[in-house]
Structure 1
Amino acid sequence: MIQDIAPMQLDNSYKKKVPHAGSRMFGFGERTVYLEYNGELQFLTYEQWKDYNENILGREVPSCIYLFSIGEEEYFLTEIGADTKIGEFRFYKMFDVRPMQPKERVLAAATAWHLFVWYRDNQFCGRCGKKLVHSETQRMLQCPCCTNMVFPKIAPAVIVGVTHGDKILMTKYAGREYKRYALIAGFTEIGETAEETVKREVMEEVGLAVKNIRYYKSQPWGFDSNLLLGYFCELAEEEEIHLDEEELSVAEWVDYHDVPEDREKLSLTHEMMTYFKEQRRR
């Protein structure tokens, strides 16, 4: 999955740092990220960014916020304008980053996007309206007026593999950019356990009751600020599928022989499909 980058590790602890020449710089637009891709995913170095600003634009380098490190690479967030032209770098859709290589930089892009969205959407205090400032010691924004503290948003959501003998329920989203097979998914609501979310989402999206709910694995999914919780469960009663057409365009039982191969090896959804297929083969 996206986080499986061993022996490298993501170090997401907050540190007060300034970039050095080789530091990697993230700039985002509307669901886009600034990068170069010629078979290998590359992000601007601080040396390139500094040279462009000082020698081409004749200005100081925009402020840079330290995000995290992966292996030996440190990543920073800065403001890169839509008209910025540096070599072969350009803005790519975040969705198009998913199949790129190497995977540790795909993880970097998704995690940096997660933090960028948090910074972008939390500039002012929701309690008193004053400008928020960054804590000197941790990843937290704080109001200097009322001391309100704002931490990065992480939304829990479930991925559900509903099984019935040799078949698994596979779906396709309605009106989404993602067109491949998926599993039933949804966000946990206030006052609800993850297991209750599984039951509710399956009933809402396909009108089926389930039993024997079993936790499988979790995954950070920075593309949507989520923490995904994977569950398998079984069909409780033989019923027809009643499709929620606002959420899904397709929901059908697929025999394990026909489960498609996982080309990206990126998402919890497709790992769960593959896991089901391998278990039924035994």
Structure 2
Amino acid sequence: MIQDIAPKIYKNEYQPQLPGPGDHLLFYEGRKILVKKDGPYIKLPVYEEGCAEEPRYLFAIDEKKFFLGGGQDIDPFLKQGYQYEDIRILRTGESKHLRFAGVTGWQLFQWYESRRFCGRCGASMVHDDKERMMRCPECGLMEFPKICPAVIIAVTDGDRILMSKYAGREYTSYALLAGFAEVGESIEETVKREVMEEVGLKVRNLTYYKSQPWSFSDTLLFGFFCQLDGSDQIRLDRQELSLAEWVNREEIKEQPDDLSLTNEMMQVFKRGEEPCHRN
């Protein structure tokens, strides 16, 4: 998955400091990131290739630090072949740890951009010196990075799995059911509610698989396998899905995508390696 960058180690401790040679600067413009394409590889700007006004420390991978660049002139980088590309470019290509760094930095960039002013009193927010937090100097409101819990759901029935396609989205390949947790419900209750809302089915024997940070949507995903409970007749929510259908294990296609929890869970089911359900 996108966060699986071993043997490299992601270090997200907040340690404000200045960049040095070999450290990376991350520049964003809306949904675009400044990158250089070199064959199958994606490269991110390096400190010695240009400069950054008031760089904001984000995290480190091994000994290389990553900083959020300011809004200064990026001509030195453009002259060296860097250009703004849609953030989706980070879903493909080599240098997986740089792709992970790019999308994780983008999540923090979006959060910083949306927290410039206090949501309670309207004053300008300031960066805290000790932790990754925005603080209002007037009313004391504290804001931490936005992380939304959500579920990925593999509904199974013997050698069949329920696969779906989203309605009205750029991503048009098969996916599993998914949805965000609501206020006041457990993550297991989210699974049952989302399945009922999207396809009108009941499920039982929920088995947790694993989790994944998904910075493309500020999400922390929780993957579950579960079994169909009762009728297999699908009642499709067409506002959320364009298609939902039962697919036999052997009919699931191999995917080159190694980034998503969704794809990993589909391939796990295809190989018959899904976790045992609790009775």
The one-letter code sitting in structure 2 at the alignment partner of 1:19 is P
Equivalent residue, structure 2, for 1:9 = 9
> Could you tell me how far apart the structure 1 residues matched to 2:132 and 2:253 are?
40
Whole-Å Cα distance in 2 between the matches of residues 171 and 129 of structure 1? Answer: 42
Please identify runs of 4+ aligned residues in structure 1 that moved more than 4 A.
Answer: 80-84
Which residue is equivalent to 2:200? 207
Which residue of structure 1 lines up, in the alignment, with residue 28 of structure 2? Answer: 28
TM-score by length of structure 2 reads: 0.93
Question: Which runs of 5 or more structure 1 residues have no equivalent in the other structure?
Answer: 51-60
Q: Percent identity?
A: 46
**Partner amino acid, structure 1, of 2:8:** M
Residue equivalent to 2:55:
64
Q: How does 1:9-158 map to 2 (within 5 A)?
A: 9-38=9-38, 39-50=40-51, 61-80=52-71, 84=75, 85-158=78-151
Alignment gaps of 5+ in structure 2: 275-279
The answer to whether the Cα contact below 8 Å between 2:90 and 2:100 also exists between their aligned partners in 1 is no
Native 8 Å contact 1:35 1:42 kept in 2: yes
How far did residue 109 of structure 1 move? 1.1
The separation in 2 between residues aligned to 1:30 and 1:133, in whole angstroms, is 22
Deviation at 1:280, TM superposition (A): 6.2
SS at match of 1:95: helix
Per-residue CA shift, 1:155-195, capped at 9, x if unaligned? 00000000011011111111111111110000000001111
Are residues 280 and 10 of structure 1, via their aligned partners in 2, closer, same or farther at CA, if it must alter by over 3 Å? closer
Q: Is the 8 A contact 1:262 1:271 kept in 2?
A: no
**Root-mean-square deviation (Å):** 1.6
Asked if 1:233 is matched to 2:226, the reply is yes
Aligned partner of 2:32: which letter? T
The TM-score, its normalising length taken from structure 1, stands at 0.92
Contact 1:183 1:269 in 2 (8 A): yes
For residue 169 of structure 1, the aligned residue among 137, 162, 171 is: 162
Residues 5 and 280 of structure 1: CA distance in aligned 2, closer, same or farther (over 3 Å): closer
CA distance in 1, matches of 2:183, 2:105: 27
Superposed CA offset, 1:6-25 (max 9, x none): 11111011111111132111
Kindly state the Cα deviation for residue 225 of structure 1 after the two structures are TM-superposed. Answer: 0.7
Match of 2:179 in 1: 186
CA distance in 2, matches of 1:250, 1:168: 14
